[in-house]
Structure 1
Amino acid sequence: MPRLSPSCNRSSQALVFAAASTTASPSSASGPGAAELPAAIDALRRQRKAVILAHYYQAPDIQDIADFIGDSLELSRKAAATDAEVIVFCGVHFMAETAKILSPEKTVLLPDLEAGCTLADACPADAFAAFRAEHPEHIVVSYINCSAAVKAQSDLICTSSNAVDLVRQLPADRPILFAPDQNLGRWVQRQSGRPLTLWPGSCIVHETFSEQALLQLKLDHPDAEVLAHPECQQHLLDQADFIGSTSKLLHRAEASAAGAFIVLTEPGILHQMRKALPQKQFFEVPGADGCSCNACPYMRLNTLEKLWHCLHTMAPAIELDEATRQRALAPIQRMLEMSR
């Protein structure tokens, strides 16, 4: 699976992203044309008794055809509660894995298996096991952006929506290990007042925003609120008026009296913001040195064509070792119970 470096420039990102897209793209020779794809997907959705879940970071056309759109916590709840026979997860691999962990009896499809995550890839299970062994007394809290094998080694899973609240609920006399996002971990540490031992991972998208571009946008739009995802680096969070998960950023834009917003997260969320609030303005922050890395290339590997293809062929499907699935289920269930 190809992976990008946080220091990528525009040309290198385009080359790697193009290679990933080319290797994963299904043949469209026998499939519907672009104009017919939405209707064809809808017909297959009904035929397969399927539900389509999409993360806010998906492309607008994917979001528009989905049954449910949300952040990782919201989609986890939908995956656990759905009575559909098939779950099509328009997101990245760890999200589809989470759906399979929660609903093992269902078929879980991911339109493109190459849709990975730099956070998950930067925390391999064997290295994480060694890290845990160095901190045997620690409660292990893992961000949901990790593999099933890492979830299986965790005591509690969290999302950016609930991480602070969950950490606050943990016993005060126990040290905490937090993985794999160090930027999110530092923010949780500041908000909760609990010291955390951090795994040194980060998200390629949230690592590459340009502070210079952000400051220029603030000068150009002095009345705009700055909304930031907690996966961003501290020097960017210091410029924010509000920090939260994708769903919380959307709710903030809805509740705020401000008429303009500068948004420090993957720009897919801007589609929902603009749909819900057409009277307001939303500005995305580019990557450093003009890099277009603010759009996650792995989220964008999913396309309408691949969505149709996976429903048509019922592949690729997510498969998990049952022992791993059961071990990974417990910390996810604990998260859902503690987040009620």
Structure 2
Amino acid sequence: MTEENLSERISELKEKKNAIILAHNYQIPEVQLEADYLGDSLGLARKSSEVDADIVVFAGVDFMAETAAMLNPDKKILIPDRGAQCPMAGMLPVESVREAKRDHPNAAVVLYVNTLAEARAEADVTCTSANSVEVVNALNEDEILFGPDRNLAWHVEQNTDKEIIPIPEDGHCYVHRMFSPDDIRLLKKEHPDAEVLVHPESDPEVQKLADYICSTSQMLGRAEKSSSDEFIVGTEVGLVDRLRREFPEKSFYPVLDEGICRQMKKHDLEKVYRSLRDEKYVVEVPPDIAESAGKATERMLKLSS
């Protein structure tokens, strides 16, 4: 089936089934273009709580679809490929959170949404890369258990007076860990007038070379309002596809062409179509976990602007 035919059939099924498609910025261009809403983790969390639909097809990784399921218990949440599982989310099992809480009973638990629902059920509040500093600084506690991304924890640490305790010690995104300071310096030498935009999942030495530390949606916003015509982009290459499409008059250079999230790229247009057609694969979160983790997510939405 051609891409055009798939798009037509997806549109027909969306209308017939009162369905929408949410997609993360790291999806392949064909899926990005088919989405009703395209964004970062924070934007998708907000959108999933506002949807007026019976079915939501979530083109992202597992923890994102779980967030949508928790915020929409009356909706059917689908993920096109069950293999779209975030490795970083798997680095923080629930028992590790419970052990850290026992060791630090006075600490607030702030978990990145890039964490599975079972672990998030142990959190006081969740956060995203876009609002992590804002959420942490809004809390009364001086001691913060923060996981699972060590580099995002470092970024928060630079912007708060609170004590940040990372859990686990070395949680990370394998894509953002590919980037090195030398990669940035080489591109900066080739493009001396380019602004450097870096995601806070990158290593501290990479973050230190950035002009702006940004979530993916913040990178889009910066590209739109900046007077610069050139940007070095330190995140997964799917965002570069979107930046080039939306700002064709500007130039965007990925830190690494190999900066690809294999799990995000498991979705394609045919899988989105089959997901809608067959209403699979359904994402469900046990009610007790959904209630606790949902409260942490809702608190995040209240604390962040």
**Deviation (angstroms), 1:53:** 0.4
Q: 1:230 aligns to what SS in structure 2? A: coil
1:66-215 equivalences in 2 (<5 Å): 66-171=35-140, 173-199=141-167, 200=169, 201-215=171-185
Letter in 2 for 1:216: L
Q: Could you say which residue in structure 1 is the equivalent of 2:227?
A: 257
Matched, 1:239 2:209: yes
Letter in 1 for 2:256: P
Match of 1:321 among 286, 301, 305: 286
Is contact 2:142–2:163 with CA below 8 Å preserved after alignment?
no
Is contact 1:210–1:286 with CA below 8 Å preserved after alignment?
no
Is contact 1:123–1:146 with CA below 8 Å preserved after alignment?
yes
Give the root-mean-square deviation of aligned CA atoms.
Answer: 1.2
Match of 2:240 among 239, 249, 270: 270
Q: Which whole-Å CA distance do the structure 1 matches of 2:181 and 2:282 have between them?
A: 40
**Deviation (angstroms), 1:133:** 1.7
Match of 1:336 among 296, 301, 304: 301
Q: Which whole-Å CA distance do the structure 2 matches of 1:297 and 1:132 have between them?
A: 33
Q: Which whole-Å CA distance do the structure 2 matches of 1:253 and 1:71 have between them?
A: 15
Letter in 2 for 1:323: D
**Deviation (angstroms), 1:165:** 0.8
Matched, 1:44 2:9: no
Match of 1:285 among 255, 269, 273: 255
Letter in 2 for 1:185: A
Task: Tell me which stretches of 4 or more aligned residues in structure 1 moved more than 4 Å.
Answer: none
Letter in 1 for 2:21: I
**Deviation (angstroms), 1:194:** 2.0
Gaps of 5+ in 1: 1-31
Identity over the aligned pairs, expressed in percent?
39
**Deviation (angstroms), 1:174:** 3.3
Letter in 1 for 2:115: C
Q: Could you say which residue in structure 2 is the equivalent of 1:223?
A: 193
Letter in 1 for 2:143: P
Per-residue Cα deviation, 1:280-322 (whole angstroms, up to 9, x for no partner): 10000127xxxx2x11000000110110011011011001111
**Deviation (angstroms), 1:71:** 0.8
Q: Which whole-Å CA distance do the structure 1 matches of 2:40 and 2:81 have between them?
A: 19
**Deviation (angstroms), 1:335:** 0.7
Letter in 2 for 1:43: E
Q: Which whole-Å CA distance do the structure 2 matches of 1:267 and 1:78 have between them?
A: 23
Gaps of 5+ in 2: none
Matched, 1:311 2:247: no
Q: 1:191 aligns to what SS in structure 2? A: coil
Letter in 2 for 1:91: G
Is contact 1:143–1:159 with CA below 8 Å preserved after alignment?
yes
Q: Which whole-Å CA distance do the structure 2 matches of 1:122 and 1:254 have between them?
A: 35
Per-residue Cα deviation, 1:222-271 (whole angstroms, up to 9, x for no partner): 11111000110011111111111111111111111111000000111112
TM-score (norm 2): 0.97
Is contact 2:193–2:230 with CA below 8 Å preserved after alignment?
yes
Is contact 1:151–1:328 with CA below 8 Å preserved after alignment?
yes
Q: Which whole-Å CA distance do the structure 2 matches of 1:93 and 1:167 have between them?
A: 24
Q: Which whole-Å CA distance do the structure 1 matches of 2:21 and 2:9 have between them?
A: 14
Q: Which whole-Å CA distance do the structure 2 matches of 1:174 and 1:283 have between them?
A: 39
Is contact 2:142–2:162 with CA below 8 Å preserved after alignment?
no
Is contact 2:100–2:145 with CA below 8 Å preserved after alignment?
no
Letter in 1 for 2:11: D
Q: Which whole-Å CA distance do the structure 1 matches of 2:105 and 2:206 have between them?
A: 34
TM-score (norm 1): 0.87
